[in-house]
Amino acid sequence: MSPPAIRLSRVEKHYGDVHAVAGLDLEVAEGVCFGLLGPNGAGKSTTMRMLTGQTHPTAGSIEVLGLPVPRESKRARALMGVVPQKDNLDEELTAEQNLEVFAYLYRVPARERAAAVDRALALAQLTDRRATKADKLSGGMRRRLLIARGLVHRPRLVLLDEPTVGLDPQVRQELWSLIDGLRAEGVTVLMSTHYIEEAERLADEVAVMSYGRVIAAGPPADLLSAHAGERAVEYYGPPPRLAEIEQLVHAAGLPTRRTGPSVSVLRAESMPAELADKLGDGVPRAANLEDVFVALTGEVVA
């Protein structure tokens, strides 16, 4: 078996009293799309920044594509593509020029640069906008360009920090297709997100982070069966009715969680018929990673 693309072992990052990362163990296998899931402040961005060598760990060890980081972060950076959360395109340059600059910085050989830029433009679906300045592109186009820029040198590993944050649902779908395409090509993807649906839709494996640690990791289906079961049923009603439902369900040994104006009964596939009768009509749905997260932490994501 080939060594993992990313390995973090007992990694800590302290900012004064804040332990942004607090004993992180993580392995990402080659060719996998891996989702780092957790609420704001869980330590996802700090982890990403340590992988690129932008910030150094307080303790622990990090390897990226077999190279120790931060010692060899320059070599590691040359092999990976990094797509930052914050859009830092050069406004003055066209889509094509933004890509050319990165092809040069990533040392794509001069005779291959034009083809690399063309390929990245096609990937971003911006071939017909190649001569448009970045400040004239829409939000979705800019984000696609930002991703394509990180891919111009055909990296084996791509880090995507919150790739679709703040974008409308249609643009998000487009980016999901783009990321899916990378996975199909065998590129290893590490993506941080606080959108449950994004992790569910794209990730082969997920690590749930809370307060700087991984509290559960594995393929989404395994996490669901271990922590949330197969199905949930949502019941709506006034607060006293919801409290009553919770009491009845807990007495039967099943977990619940509040979701706004409703109570979700988890592991509903094991609900006794008698209890189902008492609870009346509910809205059945499949269990999701949010159920897992809440079951593990009591916190609500996003």
Minimum Å gap between C-beta 45 and ligand ATP is 3
Angle at the Cα of 253 from the Cα atoms of 251 and 259, rounded to 5 degrees: 90
Give CA–CA dist 300/148, Å, rounded. Answer: 32
Q: Is 237 a binder of ligand ATP (CB under 6 A)?
A: no
Q: Which helix (H) or strand (E) element contains residue 199?
A: helix 196-202
Q: Which helix (H) or strand (E) element contains residue 190?
A: strand 188-193
CB 208 within 8 A of CB 217: yes
Q: Is 45 a binder of ligand ATP (CB under 6 A)?
A: yes
- Site size toward ligand ATP (CB under 6 A) is 12
Minimum Å gap between C-beta 54 and ligand ATP is 10
- Beta strand 157-161 with 18-28 is unpaired
Q: Is 142 a binder of ligand ATP (CB under 6 A)?
A: no
Q: Is 229 a binder of ligand ATP (CB under 6 A)?
A: no
Minimum Å gap between C-beta 248 and ligand ATP is 36
Q: Is 254 helix (H, G, I), strand (E, B) or coil?
A: coil
Q: Is 43 a binder of ligand ATP (CB under 6 A)?
A: yes
Minimum Å gap between C-beta 80 and ligand ATP is 18
Of 81, 86, 91, 90, nearest to 116 by C-alpha is: 81
Q: Which is nearer to ligand ATP, 20 or 182 (CB)?
A: 20
For residue 8, give the amino acid letter.
L
Q: Which is nearer to ligand ATP, 102 or 293 (CB)?
A: 293
Q: Is 297 a binder of ligand ATP (CB under 6 A)?
A: no
Binder to ligand ATP among 37, 42, 64, 175 (CB under 6 A)? Answer: 42
Q: Is 20 a binder of ligand ATP (CB under 6 A)?
A: yes
Of 198, 197, 257, nearest to 189 by C-alpha is: 198
Give CA–CA dist 216/60, Å, rounded. Answer: 20
Beta bridge partners of 39: none
Q: Contacts with ligand ATP in 95-134 (CB under 6 A)?
A: none
Specify the residue for token string 């749930």: 208
Minimum Å gap between C-beta 21 and ligand ATP is 7
Binder to ligand ATP among 9, 15, 71, 122 (CB under 6 A)? Answer: 15
Minimum Å gap between C-beta 159 and ligand ATP is 12
Residue 125, C-beta contacts closer than 8 angstroms, at least 6 positions apart: 144, 174
Specify the residue for token string 């092999």: 79
Q: Is 38 a binder of ligand ATP (CB under 6 A)?
A: yes
Binder to ligand ATP among 18, 283, 300, 302 (CB under 6 A)? Answer: 18
Binding site for ligand ATP (CB under 6 A): 15, 18, 20, 38, 40-46, 194
